[in-house]
Amino acid sequence: MDSEFSGHVMLQPHGLTVPLNDGTSAYFNYFWLRDNCPSSFDSQTRERIFDIFAQADEPVPETARISRDILEIVWRNDGHVTRYALDFLAHYAQGTKRTDPADLPRRLWYADHYTAIPRFSQPALLADTALVANWIKTLLVEGVAIVTDMPDSDEALTQTARLIGHIRPTFFGEYFDVRTHIAPTNLAYTARALELHTDTPAEDVAPGVQFLHCRANSVLGGDSLFLDGAAAATDLRAECPEDFALLSQTHIPYYCEHDDYDMRSRQKVIELDEHGEVSGVTISQHMADIFDLPQDFLDLYYPAFVRFGRMLQSPKYVMRFRLEAGECIVFDNHRIVHGRAAYTAESGERYLRGCYTDRGEMRSRYRALTTPGRFK
């Protein structure tokens, strides 16, 4: 097709150029214009009902013109009419991504953060969706929050988690009980110190949000250890960029096997988001498999891995505190690294009940709660 002007719209072989309201002009691909026609989406579900794969020919306009700030295209072959507001087109002119209310900048924190951790009363959360939105915002921005006034019941944990999303099972089941077990299948089920880690990296995609409801804690010892993995990894990027590159680009093996399961996966120690910023870490010495990477590559990788592991243990990052009965600590399992000091099992009772939900559901919930007209 030769380039031509039709009502100030320039038709080209694969797309058209249209003048926008701000005096600039922008190019739009014909496939994109046909595929995203407002009629392509069901008005109730917002799901796409037009199937561009079923079209025999590439979309080509018969005519295209602007009338009252509306681009109108009549498509050749089937005569379908597509109309776009110029303001809508302006948003996508440079490939600008759709605005995401849940894409919030992280606030990094260090060892002195415990007293500043936001706290939310469980009964208040159950009664106020606006408070739930603030709670989720805290989890998106800081990665950790404490829910107080938790009833001493299994149902209390379920009610709290479902404010964010569905319970997300792992190979341990839907819930897990952190207490001393006679025949433990995990180091968490002993009185020993539990090294700093993120949970279940042996799964293809580890669960996103972790809940630990403290039901009893009268033992000697057993302090909780928490740190912001994003803060430590961001510091590593500045101090040792070569180490950072290795840990953010290389997949290493994790596993967990016992009786009737044999879980295996490969993960990067440092995770990056779509903006290239650190979104979290995956680290677990007790679930790390034998590194099966080339030995000469390990000459480079192991020193970087060990340096970062030691960094995570630094007093600069680790906050140490005692989780009390009636509190539930909620945190991003892909960002917050946690562990536990050893305790004396015979000195009292220590019981934490835990579960997970997904980060995707948490972000979905936040968008629904904060977008006007989207949530009732």
The CATH number linked to 76 is: 3.30.2020.30
Domain assignment present for 98: no
238 & 345 share domain: yes
pLDDT at residue number 183: 43
197 & 343 share domain: yes
140 & 219 share domain: yes
Find the CATH number of the domain harbouring 276.
3.60.130.10
How high is the mean pLDDT of the chain? Answer: 92
Domain assignment present for 242: yes
257 & 120 share domain: yes
Q: Which of 59, 91, 123 is the last residue of a domain?
A: 91
Counting Cα atoms < 13 Å in the Cβ hemisphere of 311 gives 22
Q: Which of 43, 61, 91 is the last residue of a domain?
A: 91
pLDDT at residue number 5: 42
Distance CA(221)–CA(351), nearest Å, equals: 13
Q: Span 345-364, mean pLDDT? A: 94
Residue 68 sits in which domain range? 4-91
202 & 145 share domain: yes
Cα separation of the two ends of the chain = 50
Instruction: Copy the structure tokens of residue 62.
Output: 């018969």
46 & 83 share domain: yes
325 & 354 share domain: yes
44 & 132 share domain: no
Is it the case that residue 196 has pLDDT exceeding 50?
Answer: yes
pTM: 0.88
Task: Provide the pLDDT confidence category of residue 181 given band limits of 50, 70 and 90.
Answer: very low
pLDDT at residue number 80: 96
81 & 130 share domain: no
Domain assignment present for 104: no
228 & 362 share domain: yes
Distance CA(92)–CA(139), nearest Å, equals: 30
pLDDT in tens, 7-49: 489 999 999 999 999 889 999 999 999 999 999 999 898 899 9
Provide the domain count of the chain.
Answer: 2
Place of tokens 């995203």: 36
201 & 283 share domain: yes
Pick the range with the lowest mean pLDDT from 22-36, 190-204, 323-337, 354-368.
190-204
Task: Provide the pLDDT confidence category of residue 198 given band limits of 50, 70 and 90.
Answer: very high
Instruction: Copy the structure tokens of residue 362.
Output: 């948490």
Domain assignment present for 375: no
Q: Span 174-180, mean pLDDT? A: 87
